[in-house]
Amino acid sequence: MSFDWEQSSKRIGIDDLTLLTKVSEGQIVENLKKRLQGSIIYTYIGFVLVAVNPYRLIKGMYGPEQIKKYRGKYSHELPPHVYSLADRMYRDLTSKRESQAVIITGESGAGKTETAKLIMQYISSVSGGGSSQIEHVKKVVLESNQVLESFGNATTLQNNNSSRFGKYMTIQFDEYGAPSGGRVRNYLLEKSRVVYQQQGERNFHIFYQLTMGASKEEKEYYGLDAPENFNYMNQGGKYVTDGMDEVEEYTKTKEAMVSIGMTEEESTQIFRTVAIILHLGNIDFYEDEKGNAAITDESQVDWTASLIGVESQTLSYALTFRTIHTGGIGRQGEVINVNQDVNGAYFSRDALAKAIYTRSFDRLVQHVNRALGETNHELVLGILDIFGFEIFLNNGFEQFCINFVNEKLQQIFIELTLKLEQEEYVQEGIKWTPIKYFNNKIVCDLIEGRNPLGILTILNDVCLMPKSQIQSQDEKLLAKFDENLGNHEHYSRSFQDPMKFNLKHYAGNVEYNSVGFTDKNIDTLFNDLILLCQGSSFEYLKSLFPEVIDANSKKRPTSTGTKVIKNASELVENLMKCIPHYIRCIRPNSTKKPLGFEDKLTSHQVRYLGLLENIRVRRAGFAFRQPFERFVHHYGVLCDKTWPRYNGSPKEGSKVLLDYIQLDPKEWQLGNSKVFIKHPESLFHVEELRERKYHDSARKIQKCYIHWKARKHYLELRQKASDLLVGKKQRRRLSVNRIFTGDNINYKSNAKIVDLLESGGHSTEEVLYTNKVYRVGYSRWRKKARREDRDIILTERGLYIFGKAPIKVRGEKKMVLKISREIPIATITGAHLSTLADNFVNLKITNYDLLIEDDKKTELITILNNKAEEANRQFNLNFTNTIQSKEKTGKFRTISFEADTNSSTILPNLKGSTKSLIVYVVPGLPADTRPSKITYKEREVRKVKKKPVIQQQQQQQTTRRNPPQISSRGRGGRGGRGGRGGRGGRGGFGRGGGRGGGGGRGKRQPPKPMGRGGRGGRGRGMKPTKPQIREVQNEEIQGGGLKLGGGGSTRGRGRRESPKIQPRGGRGTTSSRGGSGGGRGGWGQKQTTTTTRGGGRGRREAPKIQPRGGRGTTSSRGGGGGGRGGWGQKQTTTSSRGGGSSGGGRGGWGSNNNTNTQVKRAPPKPKPKIQKPSVPTASVLFSFEASMEGEVSVQKGTTVEIVKKDESGWWTVKNHIGETGLAPYNYLKELN
């Protein structure tokens, strides 16, 4: 089981050092130690990443799965990781269109090189791809690391793969976020390592790869031997590095050289140059009787000269003699050849070796840049991997230059994260308490200053002084240092060694040995050695020395110190053009022990890297700041008031935006020209809103485009299908304009079909068409043709027929679904169809045919025809009413189609035998029928405004049926037999006339004893009007009918005249009964009304309604309803039913209380009271003391109330004494 570092990181220590309860150096070291021991090496300080070298590979931390997990995620969503920082860089580059750069700093052995490679790996994985050029650039970016590390890295006491040169790689990106080119700039290769290594260290990796990994033939060609036999490899006494296989690394290097575009010949030339350097180092000298240098072993010179491509005497002369121009620079003088002493000869030998290696390394960088192909795109992502700060027992000129460059990088960090940030708060009017820090600008000025003079300026001046016999140049240098820098607080002389001096760097005190400073600064390469290489027959070596030698030139050679200052300034300038990101690497122990941790060593690095000050500034400062104009431009899309442009001032626009997105006012401030956002989580929230907005907009655009594309494809497909059938086959009415759906059976929801496809190896095939069809066969038992259900699935590769087959399971026969036939799509050569309106398709297949009945045959035929065209195959489509279908037995069956004009069945009738089949088809639409013409235009995407919910509810309420009225209105319906008059109803209200004229029943309520109304009199068809309910006079309440219509029972035929309304019976008093309504109407005639139906038969005019019986009061019954209507005739109504229906409705159920026209509904049940939610609480696991404003102290074992949770890791709580403030969430355990 592999170690799950992600889950572990959630439990070990603090992810972000700004969340520490007490900010101190000890707390930082303790948190880093705790996390490292749990295999968690990454920690944040806001946006700054702290990486601790574990000295081993942690499983599960890197690779494609983790890259996929971190892609597009904000830093607070997942544990700290270098992938998260790389993703933020890439997202800022593509979304904000700003160049980015990551500055990786730390001392040697802290893991800077590996971190840089991980960033390149991530960027290469997530950036755009597709074209060969983009993939080529990605490959070169990754493979160039192997080449440059082999020639530029070495094993040191602190690091097995220490960078001995500085590298700044810039990757260029096009407007789509895809890498388009790049460039590598190299700085300060440690060329002295070529000729000398300290004890326990090695030369550059390539020397060991070549001597230990080359083939036998290569070793013979280059004259190679074991590493211990070469002077340039055996000085450190270390030949093997743990975890490094030189044979494998040599193979990787050769493959990488091919990847960056180097030919085999060019690779051979490079390796030959390395061999030349090794053999040069084995040339030794001795002092002859005259005190001059002489060659110890001429055979070694012979071998070296043959590799260089010169004569042995020429090489010996160049090493032991030196040409001197006595006239000096710019003056005519005499040329003298002078013998060199032994030291001079060794100096010339080593100078030539260093020059050849340095220029070969520069040529390799040129190969990489040529392979990357620098473009005109200005959007770049820079990765700086440079040597770390170095403090050795013996520190020379190389360490001095390396530490100076690190001072410059530290100055960038201080300027941007500490100094400028605080100065900006003051300038912008932001409330701020200044935080003290050490500004190392004073150290940078001490080294590179011109006024007053700095160390490098003094060094250049001393190198121009003539040499004297009394005092060496290095001694003069120290004297000048004392004279000009003696009072400087960061400079001092060593008390133990007169040739050493001390400098107080930001990383600590370093003692430098001045011996060799002047010689290495001049970097002398005698003209004799340049001429030696220019006279070589080895063209590659010759091309490394293109300079023209002019003895009378007045130009002084550029010193190394001047080059260092220029390179450092150029590097700083390039970095300042980008948005910087920082990774602070830490070396946890001095023995390279896996997961080992030394508190003192780590504490020292925490101190000089300025992590403590960085935490303080980050806790009190703002994580994000941006000018108003850019803020409104970048985030304006979130608000309708600021998009597409804001007419007011940018500052007002920024405030409108921040108010609109409802960001906590404590999280942001508006300065004089910029917006300031305090915590990264708040910025992530705003950025996520923006991405969501763009995502939603993109989805809408995609939706419209997909709809347009699908519609266009559908119309083209339908037109193509129509072209296949038009004029050749009758069409079925429902199939002409049918939409092609593809999957007609939703096969994915059928687990059995899915399992059969997977077991048959077809699950990855693209499904084009599915449907339920009939396979037409013959039943020998029933002796007639029969249809059998089948499911068919057509994919890009074949047609699969699914049917049920019997199998025995434990002695019982069961029907099981299976693939009954698999037909490769390439074997379907055509199809036969009839000319009639049937669904039969006879697919012509190479072995035997398939006869099916498919109601979506047009779609199937069209898809098969398209696939045949794509494969450049002929698909033969024939139309005939006599088809010869080939059976599985090899015999043919005749299928005949005949028109059947007498049948109305949906499926054609079949008649057949094993040899023939007759299909009787109902005639369809003419053969020239085409689909309805649809001219599809690209529709403008309109914004659909939805009605507010409240408005919708109001509209729904207004459209609901109102409570029934006490009326005799007839409900619309077709003419028919009228209902009879209803009797007095039970309690409740009666609804108006219903279907057929009968009165509808009201809601059932407990019945009350009520009197029955009498029969109504004669009714007539009337125009429906709203019943006029008038007050009944006392004299009318006599138990009988009203004066206008008394009780009666006769029924008669309606007259041809305007019918009048028969009023309802009177209302009875207490214990009395109401009078009956009107009688049944006569026979109705044909009506043209569009309203409700009336009573008996009337004229061609709007009938009136027959009213229902009256409603009784308390303890009484309502009167009877109107009579039954006559037999109706056909109506021409459009909505409700007209005359000829029943007359007045059946009497409603009588009320037991009063005669109001509306019924009061029962009052709604009271809503349940919502209990107030309980306040969430948490127990305190560890005591926490507030150290900053806004924090609150909590004591272990007490319980606090949780006021607000925040994703930043700080919760707002109320402690046991009632104080409210912020406390770290990981100190608490939520209880409810």
Q: Which residues are catalytic?
A: 108-109, 113, 159, 162-163, 388, 390
- Whether 106 has a binding-site annotation, put simply, is yes
- Rounded to 10 degrees, what is the CA torsion of 1014, 1020, 1025, 1030? -40
Residue 111 assigned as binding residue: yes
Q: How far apart are CA 507 and CA 510, in angstroms?
A: 9
Least Cα distance to 1054 among 1079, 1082, 1077, 1078 occurs for 1082
Q: Is 264 annotated as a binding residue?
A: no
HEC-encoded secondary structure of 387-406: CCCCCCCCECHHHHHHHHHH
CA gap 474, 455 in Å, rounded: 13
CB atoms within 10 A of CB 690: 17
Q: Is 1125 annotated as a binding residue?
A: no
* Rounded to 5°, angle at Cα 646 from 641 and 650: 120
**How many other C-beta atoms can be found within 10 angstroms of the C-beta atom of residue 737?**
11
Query: Closest by alpha carbon to 846, among 865, 868, 864, 823?
Result: 823
**107 assigned binding-site residue:** yes
Please report, as a single letter, which amino acid is at residue 613: E
Main-chain dihedrals φ then ψ at residue 722, nearest 5 degrees: -65, -40
- Tokens 């009190």 appear where? 620
Concatenating the DSSP letter of every residue in 943-996 gives PPPPPPHHHHHHHHHHHSPPPPPS--PPPP--S-PPPPPPPPP-SS----B-GG
Contact between 1010 and 986 under an 8 Å Cβ cutoff? The reply is yes
Tell me which DSSP letter residue 826 carries: G
| CB contact set of 420 (below 8 Å; sequence gap of 6+) | none
Strand partners, 769: 794
The amino acid occupying position 87 is D
Q: Is 109 annotated as a binding residue?
A: yes
Whole-number Cα distances in Å, 443 to 226, 408, 452, 505, 606: 45, 9, 13, 7, 19
User: Within 10 A of 961 (CB to CB), how many other CB atoms are there?
Assistant: 5
Q: What is the crossing angle of helices 560-576 and 397-414, to 10°? A: 20
Q: Which amino acid is at 1117?
A: R
Helices 628-635, 680-725: axis angle to 10 degrees equals: 30
Q: Determine how many CB atoms are found less than 10 A away from the CB of residue 11.
A: 9
CA distance 348 to 283: 11
Report the DSSP pairing between strands 579-586 and 48-52. Answer: parallel
Specify the length of the chain in residues.
Answer: 1232
Give the tokens for residue 584: 């602070």
C-alpha 148/C-alpha 168 separation (Å) is 12
Distance of CA 676 to the CA centre of its chain: 27
CA proximity to 843, closest of 862, 830, 853? 830
3-state helix, strand, coil in the chain (%, to 5): 35, 20, 45
**Does 1162 count as an annotated binding residue?**
no
- Angle formed by the axes of helices 132-152 and 112-126, nearest 10°: 170
The amino acid sitting at 711 is: R
Is 113 a known ligand-binding residue? yes
Quickly list DSSP for 749-777. G-HHHHHHHHHTT-TTSPEEEEEEEEEEE
Taking alpha carbons only, the member of 55, 158, 155 closest to residue 392 is 158
**Secondary structure of 828-839 as H, E, C letters:** EEEEEECCCCCC
Question: For residues 276 and 308, what is the distance between their CA atoms, to the nearest angstrom?
Answer: 7
Phi, psi of 1221 (to 5 degrees): 180, -170
Binding residues for ATP: 106-113
Binding residues: 106-113
